[in-house]
Amino acid sequence: MTYDLLRSFGRRIRWGMVGGGIDSLIGEVHRLSARLDNRYELVAGAMSIDPDIAHETAAQSLIAPDRSYTDYREMAQREAAREDGIEVVTIATPPHLHAGIATLFMAQSIDVICEKPMTCTLAEAEQLRRTVQDSGRLFALTHCYSGYPMVREARARVRAGAIGKVRQIECDFVAGSFLVEEPERDKRHWRFRPEFMGKEAILGEIGTHTYHMANFVSDRLPVALSANMSILTPGRETYDDVQIVLKYADDVFGRMWLSFTAAGNEHGLGFRIHGTEGAVIWQQEQPETLVLQHADRPAERLTPGHPDRLTPEGMHACRLREGHPEGYVLAFANLYRDFADTYFAKALGAGHMPELGHFPTVEDGVNTMRFYEATAKSNDRSGAWIEL
Ligand SMILES: NC(=O)c1ccc[n+]([C@@H]2O[C@H](COP(=O)([O-])OP(=O)(O)OC[C@H]3O[C@@H](n4cnc5c(N)ncnc54)[C@H](O)[C@@H]3O)[C@@H](O)[C@H]2O)c1
Domain residue ranges in the chain: 4-142+336-356, 148-317+367-387
The pLDDT of residue 377: 98
How many Å apart are CA 17 and CA 379, to the nearest integer? 36
Region 209-229: what's the mean pLDDT? 98
Residue of 30, 57, 93 best suited for mutating to test ligand 1, as the one with most atoms within 8 Å of CB: 93
Q: Would the CB of 23 count as within 6 Å of ligand 1?
A: yes
Q: Pseudo-torsion of CA 118, 25, 177, 116, nearest 10°?
A: 10
Ligand 1 centre to CA of 87 (Å) is 21
**Residue 43: pLDDT band by 50, 70, 90 thresholds?**
very high
Ligand 1 centre to CA of 68 (Å) is 18
Average confidence score pLDDT of the chain? 95
The pLDDT of residue 179: 66
The pLDDT of residue 136: 95
Percent of the chain at pLDDT > 70 equals 98
Q: Would the CB of 18 count as within 6 Å of ligand 1?
A: yes
The pLDDT of residue 1: 66
Residue 186 burial by Cβ neighbours in a 10 Å radius (0-12, 13-18, 19+): exposed
Evaluate whether 164 touches 294 at the Cβ level (below 8 Å): no
pLDDT in tens, 313-331: 999 999 999 999 999 999 9
How many Å apart are CA 232 and CA 216, to the nearest integer? 30
pLDDT at 357 > cutoff 80: no
Q: Would the CB of 233 count as within 6 Å of ligand 1?
A: no
The pLDDT of residue 184: 80
Q: Determine the angle formed by the axes of helices 27-35 and 328-347, rounding to 10 degrees.
A: 60
Q: Would the CB of 92 count as within 6 Å of ligand 1?
A: yes
The pLDDT of residue 159: 97
pLDDT at 353 > cutoff 90: no
Q: Would the CB of 72 count as within 6 Å of ligand 1?
A: yes
The pLDDT of residue 358: 82
Region 68-95: what's the mean pLDDT? 98
Q: Would the CB of 24 count as within 6 Å of ligand 1?
A: yes
pLDDT at 185 > cutoff 90: no
pLDDT at 342 > cutoff 70: yes
The pLDDT of residue 13: 98
Evaluate whether 380 touches 386 at the Cβ level (below 8 Å): no
Calculate the CA 120 to chain-centre distance: 15
Percent of the chain at pLDDT > 90 equals 91
How many Å apart are CA 223 and CA 317, to the nearest integer? 30
The pLDDT of residue 32: 98
Nearest CA to 369 out of 207, 244, 261, 247 is that of 207
pLDDT in tens, 83-118: 999 999 999 999 999 999 999 999 999 999 999 999
Q: Which amino acid is at 24?
A: S
How many Å apart are CA 254 and CA 97, to the nearest integer? 32
- Cα separations in angstroms, 382 against 206, 228, 241: 22, 7, 15
pLDDT in tens, 253-262: 999 999 999 9
pLDDT at 186 > cutoff 80: no
Q: Would the CB of 49 count as within 6 Å of ligand 1?
A: yes
Biggest alpha carbon–alpha carbon distance for the chain: 65
pLDDT in tens, 114-171: 999 999 999 999 999 999 999 999 999 999 999 999 999 999 999 999 999 999 999 9
Q: Which CATH superfamily is domain 148-317+367-387 in?
A: Dihydrodipicolinate Reductase; domain 2 (3.30.360.10)
Residue of 115, 143, 211 best suited for mutating to test ligand 1, as the one with most atoms within 8 Å of CB: 115
- Pure H helices in the chain: 4-9, 27-35, 51-60, 72-81, 98-107, 122-135, 149-159, 194-197, 201-202, 208-218, 312-316, 328-347, 362-380
Name residues whose C-beta falls within 8 Å of residue 351's C-beta, 6 or more positions apart in sequence: 345
Evaluate whether 12 touches 41 at the Cβ level (below 8 Å): yes
Q: Whose CA is nearest to atom 4 of ligand 1?
A: 26
Evaluate whether 336 touches 145 at the Cβ level (below 8 Å): no
Ligand 1 centre to CA of 204 (Å) is 13
The pLDDT of residue 256: 98
Q: Is the pTM of this model over 0.85?
A: yes
pLDDT in tens, 285-295: 999 999 999 99
Q: Would the CB of 284 count as within 6 Å of ligand 1?
A: no
Evaluate whether 362 touches 132 at the Cβ level (below 8 Å): yes
DSSP 132-161: HHHHT--EEE--GGGGSHHHHHHHHHHHTT
The pLDDT of residue 58: 98
How many Å apart are CA 102 and CA 120, to the nearest integer? 13
Q: Which CATH superfamily is domain 4-142+336-356 in?
A: NAD(P)-binding Rossmann-like Domain (3.40.50.720)
Q: Would the CB of 115 count as within 6 Å of ligand 1?
A: yes
